């Protein structure tokens, strides 16, 4: 099983963040519970993280956010999960021996909203690293990065579980569209309580 902790960074999660996702503070406690459970149960967790430069093309689509080196780019729970941590650079490639280790925390940096724009993560995905695996997805935003994560994993043959009380979206119309697309792709919906219960 893998946890995917999508873009839980201060610029998205904090009310005064540069690209605050309205209501994101409501899911904060559940995200913390999931990340603490990952520590306790030693679940490999992949945290995606925008790491932008000030002139990135994504800023034609979205206001500037998560500029590398600024507080807004930091994860809201920078120390969680408590597992050996590897940072994967934006341009890192998945070499022939690359694999996803057990009980490890990967922080995968990206410059586009799709976390599979990171070549290392996409390389592993294409190679079948997530095929048939249970992937529990949470974070922000339901209609952008979480959507890209859930659909990208479903396309790669993963069993995707979206934690509905640990995701938050930007706008009602795009959230509804994203939920419909995810259901059509076979994504299942769960809750933080259900996930935690399933780990005991």
Which residues would be at the binding site for Zn ion (CB under 5 A)? 50
Nearest CB to Zn ion, comparing residues 9 and 30:
9
Residue 112 tokens, joined: 């586009």
Nearest CB to Zn ion, comparing residues 56 and 135:
56
Task: Please give the sequence-ordered ranges of beta strands (E in DSSP) within 51-130, or none if there are none.
Answer: 85-88, 105-110
Q: How far is the CB of 10 from Zn ion (least distance, A)?
A: 13
Q: How far is the CB of 65 from Zn ion (least distance, A)?
A: 6
Integer Cα distance of 29 and 21 in angstroms: 15
Region at 121 (left for phi over 0; alpha for psi -120 to 50; beta for the rest): alpha
Distances (CA, A) of 193 to 31, 39, 80, 103, 197: 11, 16, 19, 21, 6
CB neighbour list of residue 179: distance below 8 Å, 6 or more residues apart: 142
Nearest CB to Zn ion, comparing residues 50 and 166:
50
Residue 198 tokens, joined: 């399933």
Nearest CB to Zn ion, comparing residues 50 and 146:
50
Nearest CB to Zn ion, comparing residues 27 and 50:
50
With 0-12 / 13-18 / 19 or more C-beta atoms within 10 angstroms meaning exposed / middle / buried, residue 55 is exposed
Nearest CB to Zn ion, comparing residues 44 and 49:
49
Integer Cα distance of 40 and 37 in angstroms: 5
Q: How far is the CB of 70 from Zn ion (least distance, A)?
A: 13
For residue 135, the tally of other CB atoms under 10 A from its CB is 22
């Amino acid at each position: 099983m893998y946890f995917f902790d999508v873009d839980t960074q201060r610029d998205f999660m904090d009310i005064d963040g540069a690209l605050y996702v309205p209501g994101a503070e409501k899911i904060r406690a559940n995200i913390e519970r999931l990340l603490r459970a990952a520590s306790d149960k030693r679940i490999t967790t992949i945290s995606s993280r925008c790491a932008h430069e000030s002139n990135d093309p994504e800023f034609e689509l979205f206001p500037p956010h998560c500029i590398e080196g600024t507080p807004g780019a930091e994860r809201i729970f920078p120390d969680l999960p408590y597992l050996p941590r590897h940072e994967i650079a934006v341009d890192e490639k998945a070499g022939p021996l690359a694999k996803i280790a057990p009980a490890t925390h990967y922080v995968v940096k990206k410059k586009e909203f799709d976390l599979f724009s990171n070549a290392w993560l996409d390389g592993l995905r294409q190679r079948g690293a997530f095929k048939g695996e249970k992937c529990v997805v949470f974070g922000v935003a339901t209609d952008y990065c979480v959507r890209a994560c859930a659909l990208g994993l479903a396309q790669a043959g993963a069993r995707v579980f979206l934690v509905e009380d640990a995701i938050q979206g930007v706008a009602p119309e795009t959230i509804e569209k994203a939920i419909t697309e995810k259901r059509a792709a076979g994504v299942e919906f769960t809750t933080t309580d259900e996930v935690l219960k399933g780990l005991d």
